[in-house]
Structure 1
Amino acid sequence: MPLSLAHQSLEELGGHSSVLARQRRDHAELDRLMRHCESTGPSRAERRATFQEIVRLTFSHAFAEETVLWPALRRLVPDGEELTARVEEEHQQINDLVAEILSTEPNGPWPERLVAEAFALIRQDIRDEEDVLLPRLQEALGHDAVRLRRLGSAWESVRRTAPTRPHPAVSRRPPGNALAGVPLSAVDRARDALSPLTGPRGRRLTTALTAAVLAACAVAALRHRRR
């Protein structure tokens, strides 16, 4: 059985710029942020700010996986379809939970139960990736550091321009997610920059903006299929 990423040295992972090392760093940062959010010290405002950091990292990270890594795993590993379907289901569950959390009133009570469920799913997703999917990808690539670094560069490029918020209606696979990614990323990053805009008016504005983008993406996907 392939060795979990958690028990491998940086050299075994293919070096600092390997996709495996990049994934593990993101996972470690997510764990740090979740533990900080769960601690009794932070105020409600600090908890919400930390949660927003978790959301941005979680969704850009997952989008890059679904666009770059899981298609490679399906091509290279005989049971890649089954493996990626399971983790995509986890991503969808996280998506739905986080969307529900973000819909709660910013000045209302902290949604403790929903956040705990979301964090449990994120941690399970990290374990599945580090213990199963990524070691299988590493094995399929023959532990080739050059190929792992190239994949890491592609993954990082997508992550830096990926959506940063949940979008339950968007496909988890190419080409649907790729077609939606660029416009949704622009919307998300604008919303991140304008995060003080809250309340019913802010929610109506961002909902309308996202709906317009999704409609444009649906038209683009239809045109792509007709070619």
Structure 2
Amino acid sequence: MGHGGNIIEELIADHREVEEFFAKIEELPSGDERRKHLADQATMELVRHSVAEEAYLYPAVRKHVPDGDGLADRELEDHATAERLMKQLEGCEADDPEFDHLVRRMMTEVREHIADEESNLFPRLRSQCPDDFLDELGDKARQAKKTAPTRPHPSTPDKPPANKILAPGIGLVDRLRDMMTGRGKD
């Protein structure tokens, strides 16, 4: 979280970080409790990442990219699907029979979303926006991730202004819960 660069570079770095968590999960045997720990860490990163995208990336896509509304709406649908899976996964332990199924589905959904963003959405946004604007969005995305929730909240708003108003408060509660439970600790 908080890698630096313009919004596209920031989000691609997040993608790589999440993929590292996924690869580690796949290396471990089914039922290994470290898989749950890694899934929690991936979820925390994905939720923060999604908040930044929803607050800054998708509004920019809507405004600057031809057919941006359709692109942004599809990406938000991907987020909603992944967030529902993460919410279900949150309630499972690594030895739960449903855990492996849910974590595989989540990784598949997220990997498809990443591939689409990197091959389609990011190049289109880059071609339509000046570098200084993308740099500014990168700074805003990094700031948003600092106060963003760390747990999935499928029923919260995913579009400005409501998401920008609610995310910091929900994030504070999530971080307090994480601190009390030790969730996400290395």
TM-score (norm 1): 0.74
Amino acid paired to 1:90: D
* Structure 1 unaligned blocks of 5 or more: 1-15, 198-227
What does the per-residue CA deviation read over 1:136-162, in whole Å, with 9 as the maximum and x for residues that have no partner? 111111xx3322211111111111111
What does the per-residue CA deviation read over 1:92-125, in whole Å, with 9 as the maximum and x for residues that have no partner? 0011111111122576456111110000001011
From 130, 141, 144, the equivalent of 1:158 is: 144
Does 2:15 align with 1:32?
Answer: no
Amino acid paired to 2:36: R
Give how far 1:38 is off. Answer: 1.1
More displaced 10-residue stretch of structure 1: 110-119 or 49-58: 110-119
The corresponding residue for 2:128 is: 140
Does 2:52 align with 1:64?
Answer: yes
User: How many residues align structurally?
Assistant: 180
Q: Where in structure 2 are the equivalents of 1:94-105 lying within 5 Å?
A: 94-105=82-93
Task: Decide which structure has the larger Cα Rg and report it.
Answer: 1
Contact 2:48 2:149 in 1 (8 A): yes
Percent identity, aligned pairs only, is 30
* Partner Cα separation in structure 2 for residue 44 and residue 135 of structure 1: 39
Q: Where in structure 2 are the equivalents of 1:30-179 lying within 5 Å?
A: 30-40=18-28, 44-105=32-93, 108-109=96-97, 111-141=99-129, 144-179=130-165
Cα RMSD for the two superposed structures: 1.9
From 184, 190, 194, the equivalent of 2:176 is: 190
TM-score (norm 2): 0.89
The corresponding residue for 1:23 is: 11
Could you say if the C-alpha distance between residues 41 and 111 of structure 1 is closer, same or farther in structure 2, counting changes exceeding 3 Å? closer
Q: Secondary structure of the residue that 1:128 maps to in structure 2?
A: helix
Give how far 1:196 is off. Answer: 4.9
